[in-house]
């Protein structure tokens, strides 16, 4: 994609100008021809009647001479006949017909008058010589048909119309009428007006076309600016919104890319460095994707969407593009100062089969699920969307989830949290499950991306709370932790339910509230206030996944949390990764000082358990102690 | 911009004659007439023509001067072209000079004139009378033959 919109090749403008010019030139030629045709037509229309009348006049003279054997002599010698002919010719005179006269050609080839309709001052005598103005006159003796002559040199006459009067198949007399210039001037005025109108219309059309071209070019430039992310120079979300319906899902694979721990980079080095890294990541993407084929879009803070052109039968090449982006970012040194650099990794989710989705949104969602899986698997990886693995999800639209709620197919599985020292049951964590229409169990990671940010999530929380309440009322000696989403803490309906549970059912002390700490919740005073209120009702607050994302120690103190659950991905690495071990050790030390109890998640083997135990972590949870079991097996669920 | 407009205006005036007769009086017909008279006079006299036109206008002076040596008086001329109504007495004698008119009727009625150039049906017509040509011992080139009338 272009980074700037300067005119690199100005002849691109010349081409449309030349096209417009050529069209106008063709129009002009066509117009000139049209004008000629129109002029001829107007002349024909305006003179045809006159020609007919003149023809009638010639026929009349011919009739007068029907007894004659020598027309010229008979007219010369017969003044009465001369008068009749002159009278007949006079009927032809109008403001447009200036002269009407009868001629003959003598033996020397000189034209002479026989009769003239002009007034006495201008009237020619019989036998007076008449100098013809053009040799065209002589054509009438060969064609023997009426002849129209156009005058270009005479100032007062525009046309002459000659009608032959025959005697024994020879042209003996010529009846001539001369049109004044007035008629042609009127016609010319008409033509000129038409000409000007056409020229004006053409100029207007030409200017309009030119203006439209300029506007189109400008609009394209402005639109391109509106669709470009200013920071990274890749397309922005507007572009996606505008064109998502036009993307042919057969032509692309969809990759969603997220910069790992980008928030930490921003927090550690500042937003300027964060922006610089975003720019460099985008630059790497733009360098690797194929111009004119692939499309890069920044659709979130540190999230990019890459549409890689593909062949339906061979995704390897397009997948290779994604992999090269992944490796190039991994290998790149992102300088935070002149001599210091950091390495950045990305998680990428790829949907190889967008054509199996009905809409782009659906296809994009599947790539997003793959990205979600990539993050869950510890980040810095490319995850392909697996149709089989996510089959339940693919069938779980928002409507499906709504149906599942209505049909009571929401379930809770329960996993033990044990006392680390004694391995005795301390409490359970309730885990959301949905049974699909095929009786398959669907886990939250397959549902949450779909319902994130929708009211369905809140409804599911209500269902889960209701199920936990049932269990607590059924078994008075157990304690259960339930997971709440950050939005639940500020939702009045959820808070109202929790108040009811505390005041009427008296189960607050046995229902732990697990909340994932996020920046979103930390910055909301309402959330803090509500958490303190819930504590005052007797609920215990558990901060979930502590150490993985947004971990704010001040906040822990502010909300006076009772427990923190160290994120499972840290616990998993505690034996091999010194940083993870030191992180856990320090969290535990801080918690002891702050009188907060600690729970370790993902305790999956004895070695981890021993380490946890040695660090003095009070509670443990993981497959070492139990798998999540449904409510009917809550007590009989066997330890692994 | 002002200089450009001024230059454009001056240029327009300098070539105005070719496309308009608003700047100068229109004299295309006079031009044509002068050329024909020049042909006739030179063919008739065979020497330098000293033309006299009674009551000559300024425009005629300007146009005819390009083709002839104009004579201030009838007496000093050898070719007189009468193209306006003038009293016959105001003209000088016919010896040593030729008289030409622009009026066909005058040509027919007045033997002073040996020929006429006149406008007939808006077309220029030339007529010479054979006898008068002979009387004036004028032999015209063959090209003038169609214009000679033998009354």
Q: Measure the CA–CA gap between A60 and A47, rounded to whole angstroms.
A: 20
pLDDT tens per residue across span A429-474: 999 998 887 777 888 877 777 777 667 788 889 999 999 999 999 9
Radius of gyration of chain A (CA): 50
Which chain A residues in 244-283 lie under 8 Å from chain B, judged by CB atoms? none
Which of A118, A128, A131 shows the shortest C-beta gap to B123? A131
Inform me whether the C-beta atom of residue B126 falls under 8 Å from chain A C-beta atoms.
yes
CATH number given to A237-389? 3.30.70.270
The pLDDT score that the predictor gives to residue B11 is 45
pLDDT tens per residue across span B52-64: 999 999 999 999 9
Task: Please say if the pLDDT value at position B23 is more than 60.
Answer: no
A151 to chain B: nearest residue by CA?
B123
For residue A141, give how far its alpha carbon lies from the nearest alpha carbon of chain B (Å).
19
CATH number given to B25-149? 3.40.50.2300
Structure tokens given for A513: 């509230």
- Check CB contact under 8 Å for A98 and B28: no
Which residues in chain B are contacts of A121 at CB distance < 8 A? none
A130 to chain B: nearest residue by CA?
B125
Inform me whether the C-beta atom of residue B18 falls under 8 Å from chain A C-beta atoms.
no
Inform me whether the C-beta atom of residue B109 falls under 8 Å from chain A C-beta atoms.
no
Q: Taking Cα atoms as reference points, which of A53, A13, A12, A304 lies closest to residue A161?
A: A53
Judge contact between A334 and A344, C-beta under 8 A.
Answer: yes
- Check CB contact under 8 Å for B149 and A129: yes
Which residues in chain B are contacts of A155 at CB distance < 8 A? 28-29, 122
The SS3 of residue A412 is strand
The residue-averaged pLDDT of A145-166 equals 87
What is the bridge-based pairing of β-strands A425-435 and A441-442?
antiparallel
ipTM of the prediction: 0.80
Which residues in chain B are contacts of A111 at CB distance < 8 A? none
CATH number given to A22-187? 3.30.450.20
User: Any idea which of A204-213, A340-349, A560-569, B136-145 has the lowest mean pLDDT?
Assistant: A204-213
- Check CB contact under 8 Å for B146 and A110: yes
Inform me whether the C-beta atom of residue A107 falls under 8 Å from chain B C-beta atoms.
no
- Phi and psi at residue B117, to the nearest 5°: -120, 115
Instruction: Provide the sign of the torsion angle of the four alpha carbons A385, A391, A397, A398, taken in this order.
Output: negative
Which residues in chain A are contacts of B125 at CB distance < 8 A? 129-131
Domain boundaries, chain A: 22-187, 237-389, 395-633
β-partners of residue A484 are A515
Assign a CATH topology to domain A395-633. Answer: TIM Barrel (3.20.20)
Inform me whether the C-beta atom of residue B107 falls under 8 Å from chain A C-beta atoms.
no
pLDDT tens per residue across span A72-105: 999 999 999 999 999 999 999 988 899 999 999 9
For residue A174, give how far its alpha carbon lies from the nearest alpha carbon of chain B (Å).
15
- Check CB contact under 8 Å for B121 and A178: yes
The residue with tokens 């782009």 is A360
Q: Which residue has better confidence, A399 or A332?
A: A332
Active site residue A593: no
* Cut 0.80: pTM above it: no
Q: Which residue has better confidence, A305 or B84?
A: A305
The pLDDT score that the predictor gives to residue A522 is 62
The SS3 of residue A53 is helix
Which residues in chain B are contacts of A128 at CB distance < 8 A? 104, 120
Structure tokens given for A379: 């980040």
For residue A58, give how far its alpha carbon lies from the nearest alpha carbon of chain B (Å).
20
For residue B11, give how far its alpha carbon lies from the nearest alpha carbon of chain A (Å).
25
Give me the helix-helix angle, A578-593 and A606-615, nearest 10°.
40
Inform me whether the C-beta atom of residue A154 falls under 8 Å from chain B C-beta atoms.
yes
Inform me whether the C-beta atom of residue B69 falls under 8 Å from chain A C-beta atoms.
no
The residue-averaged pLDDT of B7-27 equals 48
The pLDDT score that the predictor gives to residue A43 is 77
Instruction: Give residue A11's pLDDT band: very low, low, confident or very high (50, 70, 90).
Output: low
Domain boundaries, chain B: 25-149
pLDDT tens per residue across span A184-223: 777 778 878 887 888 888 888 888 888 888 888 888 888 8
Residue from A86, A302, A463, A514 carrying the catalytic annotation: A302
- Phi and psi at residue A162, to the nearest 5°: -110, 130
The pLDDT score that the predictor gives to residue B29 is 79
For residue A128, give how far its alpha carbon lies from the nearest alpha carbon of chain B (Å).
10
Q: Say what percent of chain A tops pLDDT 70.
A: 93
The residue with tokens 């989403």 is A485
- Check CB contact under 8 Å for B124 and A155: no
For residue B104, give how far its alpha carbon lies from the nearest alpha carbon of chain A (Å).
10
The residue with tokens 């330890």 is A639
- Check CB contact under 8 Å for B146 and A124: no
Task: Please say if the pLDDT value at position A26 is more than 90.
Answer: no
Task: Please say if the pLDDT value at position A238 is more than 50.
Answer: yes
The pLDDT score that the predictor gives to residue A2 is 38
């Amino acid at each position: 994609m272009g980074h700037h919109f300067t005119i690199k090749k100005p002849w691109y403008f010349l081409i449309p100008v030349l096209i417009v010019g050529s069209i106008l030139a063709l129009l002009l030629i066509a117009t000139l021809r049209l004008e000629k045709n129109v002029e001829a037509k107007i002349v024909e229309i305006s003179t045809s009647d006159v020609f007919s009348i003149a023809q009638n006049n010639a026929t009349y003279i011919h009739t007068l001479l029907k007894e004659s054997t020598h027309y010229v002599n008979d007219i010369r010698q017969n003044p009465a006949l001369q008068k009749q002919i002159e009278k007949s010719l006079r009927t032809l005179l109008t403001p447009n017909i200036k002269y009407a006269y009868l001629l003959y050609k003598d033996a020397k080839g000189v034209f002479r008058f026989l009769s003239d309709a002009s007034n006495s001052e201008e009237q020619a005598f019989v036998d007076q010589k008449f100098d013809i103005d053009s040799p065209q006159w002589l054509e009438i003796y060969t064609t023997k048909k009426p002849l129209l002559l156009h005058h270009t040199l005479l100032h007062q006459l525009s046309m002459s119309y000659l009608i032959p009067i025959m005697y024994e198949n020879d042209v003996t007399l010529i009846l001539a009428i001369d049109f004044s210039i007035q008629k042609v001037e009127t016609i010319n005025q008409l033509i000129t007006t038409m000409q000007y109108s056409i020229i004006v219309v053409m100029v207007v059309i030409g200017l309009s076309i030119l203006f439209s071209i300029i506007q189109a070019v400008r609009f394209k430039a402005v639109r391109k600016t509106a669709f470009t992310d200013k920071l990274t120079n890749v397309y922005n979300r507007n572009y996606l919104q505008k064109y998502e319906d036009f993307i042919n899902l057969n032509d692309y694979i969809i990759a969603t890319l997220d910069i790992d721990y980008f928030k930490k980079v921003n927090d550690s080095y500042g937003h300027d460095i964060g922006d610089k890294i975003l720019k460099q990541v985008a630059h790497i993407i733009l360098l690797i994707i194929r111009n004119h084929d692939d499309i890069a879009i920044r659709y979130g803070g540190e999230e990019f969407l890459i549409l890689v052109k593909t062949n339906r039968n061979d995704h390897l090449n397009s997948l290779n593009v994604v992999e090269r982006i992944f490796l190039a970012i991994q290998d790149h040194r992102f300088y935070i100062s002149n001599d210091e650099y950091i390495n950045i990794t990305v998680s990428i989710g790829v949907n190889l089969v967008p054509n199996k989705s009905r809409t782009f949104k659906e296809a994009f969602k599947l790539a997003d699920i793959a990205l979600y899986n990539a993050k869950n698997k510890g980040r810095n990886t490319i995850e392909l969307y697996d149709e089989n693995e996510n089959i339940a999800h693919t069938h779980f639209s928002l409507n499906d989830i709504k149906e599942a709620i209505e049909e009571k197919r929401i379930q809770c599985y329960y996993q033990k949290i044990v006392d680390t020292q004694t391995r005795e049951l301390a409490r359970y964590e309730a885990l959301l499950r949905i049974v699909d229409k095929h009786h398959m169990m669907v886990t939250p990671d397959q549902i949450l991306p779909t319902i994130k940010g929708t009211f369905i999530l809140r409804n599911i929380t209500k269902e889960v709370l209701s199920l936990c309440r049932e269990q607590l009322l059924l078994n008075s000696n157990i304690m259960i932790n339930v997971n709440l989403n950050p939005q639940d803490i500020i939702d009045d309906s959820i808070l109202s339910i929790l108040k009811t549970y505390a005041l009427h059912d008296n189960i607050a002390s046995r229902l732990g509230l697990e909340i994932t700490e996020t920046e979103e919740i930390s910055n909301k005073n309402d959330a803090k206030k509500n958490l303190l209120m819930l504590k005052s009702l007797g609920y215990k607050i558990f901060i979930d996944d502590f150490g993985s994302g947004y971990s704010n120690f001040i906040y822990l103190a502010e909300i006076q949390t009772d427990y923190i659950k160290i994120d499972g991905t840290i616990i998993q690495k505690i034996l091999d990764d010194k940083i993870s071990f030191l992180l856990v050790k320090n969290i535990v030390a801080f918690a002891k000082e702050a009188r907060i109890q600690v729970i370790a998640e993902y305790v999956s083997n004895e070695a981890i358990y021993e380490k946890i135990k040695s660090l003095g972590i009070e509670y443990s949870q993981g497959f070492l102690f139990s798998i999540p079991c449904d409510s009917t097996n809550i007590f009989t669920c066997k330890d692994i | 911009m002002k200089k450009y407009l001024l230059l454009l205006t001056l240029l327009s005036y300098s070539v105005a004659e070719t496309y308009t007769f608003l700047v100068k009086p229109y004299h295309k017909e006079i031009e044509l007439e002068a050329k024909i008279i020049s042909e006739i006079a030179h063919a008739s006299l065979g020497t330098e023509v000293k033309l006299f036109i009674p009551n000559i206008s300024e425009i005629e002076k300007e146009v005819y001067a390009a083709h002839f040596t104009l004579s201030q008086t009838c007496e000093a001329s050898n070719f007189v072209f009468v193209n306006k109504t003038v009293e016959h007495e105001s003209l000088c004698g016919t010896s040593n000079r030729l008289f030409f008119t622009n009026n066909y009727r005058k040509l027919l009625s007045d033997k002073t004139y040996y020929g006429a150039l006149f406008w007939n049906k808006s077309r220029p017509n030339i007529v010479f009378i054979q006898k008068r040509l002979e009387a004036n011992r004028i032999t015209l080139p063959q090209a003038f033959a169609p214009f000679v009338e033998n009354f």
